[in-house]
């Protein structure tokens, strides 16, 4: 009876051991299957982390923002900066340089201030021209006239060389010059009154044989052909 009891006990222990072994194997298989599923789940979880974000990161780096950043550097601002440098101010700087040349403008403004008549004072001191000549007579009435201007027909060039202006408009206080009168030597007189370019009065010497200074003609036309063909110029102080 004991032998049977021990045999049953051993049989039961063996059966329990086999059952335990079977239970342990099933547990191991279950664990293995679970880890395999977990690893596949992990791999599937890692895959999105390596795929879509990489595309999203690379897409902004190569897309339109790079073009938008470069476009402003090459666009219209460079043209707007250069345009003002080539515009009209350069032409405005050149116009005033052509405006203020003519000496006649200065003469006309000074002539407007001249009186229509003058009463000269005769002064022969320091006069180096031959006494009684027309040049001597004018120098005695106009101290600003040079002492060495030559004959009457040389006075225009001499006066211009001395800085005086010459014109064809009579002015009281100017010197009238007929370069072709006086037998080719010319004739000069001092203008004392002006009504127009064809009606003046003068004081002069060596006119009609008079060596002294006086008003011998009254009002007369200085452009008449009687006076050396009518060519007359005026030297202004």
Q: Find the mean pLDDT for residues 169-194.
A: 97
Question: CA 112 → CA 29, 102, 144, 172, distances in Å?
Answer: 130, 16, 20, 11
Architecture of domain 104-235: Alpha-Beta Complex (3.90)
Q: Which range scores top for mean pLDDT: 20-29, 113-122, 192-201?
A: 192-201
Q: Find the mean pLDDT for residues 70-90.
A: 40
Both structure tokens of 204: 């002069």
For the full predicted model, state whether its pTM sits above 0.75: no
Q: Residue ranges per domain, the chain?
A: 2-71, 104-235
Q: Is the pLDDT of residue 158 over 60?
A: yes
Q: How far apart are CA 222 and CA 226, in angstroms?
A: 9
Q: Reduce the secondary structure of the chain to three states and give it as a string.
A: CHHHHHHHHHHHHHHHHHHHHHHHHHHHHHHHHHHHHHHHHHHHHHHHHHCHHHHHHHHHHHCHHHHHHHHHHHCCHHHHHHHHHHCCHHHHHHHHHHCCCCHHHHHHHHHHCCCCECCCCCCCCCCCCCCCCHHHHHHHHCCCCCCCCCCHHHHHHHHHHCCCCEECCCCCCCEEEECCCCCCCCEEEEEEEEEECCEEEEEECCECCECCCECCCCCECCCCCCCHHHCCEEECC
Q: What is the pLDDT of residue 107?
A: 46
């Amino acid at each position: 009876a004991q032998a049977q009891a021990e045999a049953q006990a051993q049989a039961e222990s063996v059966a329990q051991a086999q059952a335990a072994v079977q239970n342990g194997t099933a547990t191991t298989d279950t664990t293995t299957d679970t880890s395999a599923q977990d690893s596949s789940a992990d791999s599937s979880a890692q895959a999105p982390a390596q795929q879509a974000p990489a595309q999203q990161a690379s897409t902004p780096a190569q897309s339109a923002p790079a073009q938008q950043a470069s476009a402003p550097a090459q666009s219209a601002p460079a043209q707007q900066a250069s345009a003002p440098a080539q515009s009209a101010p350069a032409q405005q700087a050149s116009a005033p340089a052509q405006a203020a040349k003519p000496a006649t403008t200065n003469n006309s403004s000074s002539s407007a201030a001249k009186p229509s008549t003058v009463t000269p004072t005769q002064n022969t001191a320091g006069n180096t021209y031959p006494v009684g000549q027309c040049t001597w007579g004018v120098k005695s009435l106009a101290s600003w006239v040079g002492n060495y201007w030559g004959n009457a027909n040389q006075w225009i060039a001499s006066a211009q060389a001395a800085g005086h202006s010459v014109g064809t408009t009579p002015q009281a206080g100017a010197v009238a010059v007929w370069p072709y009168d006086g037998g080719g030597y010319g004739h000069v007189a001092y203008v004392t009154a002006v009504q127009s370019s064809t009606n003046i009065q003068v004081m002069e010497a060596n006119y009609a044989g008079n060596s002294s200074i006086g008003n011998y003609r009254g009002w007369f036309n200085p452009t008449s052909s009687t006076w050396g063909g009518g060519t007359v110029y005026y030297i202004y102080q």
